[in-house]
């Protein structure tokens, strides 16, 4: 999932799309991602994109 995000961060990635990459239902993916990463997918995606602005 994280590789997919890093390869596609320049375009919008929907929750359905990233959940499909992980072979999970959208609701379960959201809970799983938040539990493992400590932030929601959308928060992670936004922070990842912002990190390139600061470089």
pLDDT digits (tens, 9 = 90+) for 18-27: 999 999 999 9
Q: Give the number of other Cβ atoms within 10 Å of residue 33's Cβ.
A: 22
Within the chain, which residues score under 50 in pLDDT?
none
pLDDT score of 42: 95
**If we measure between CA atoms, which residue out of 42, 33, 40 comes closest to residue 13?**
42
What pLDDT sits at residue 52?
A: 86
* Top-level class of domain 2-54: mainly alpha
Domain extents in the chain? 2-54
> What is the average pLDDT value for the chain, to the nearest integer?
94
Q: Determine the pLDDT at residue 16.
A: 96
Which tokens is 32 given?
């799983």
């Amino acid at each position: 999932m994280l590789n997919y995000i890093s390869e596609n961060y320049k375009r919008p990635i929907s929750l359905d799309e990233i959940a499909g990459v992980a072979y999970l239902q959208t609701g379960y993916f959201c809970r799983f991602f938040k539990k493992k990463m400590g932030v929601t997918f959308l928060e992670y995606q936004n922070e990842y994109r912002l990190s390139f602005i600061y470089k």
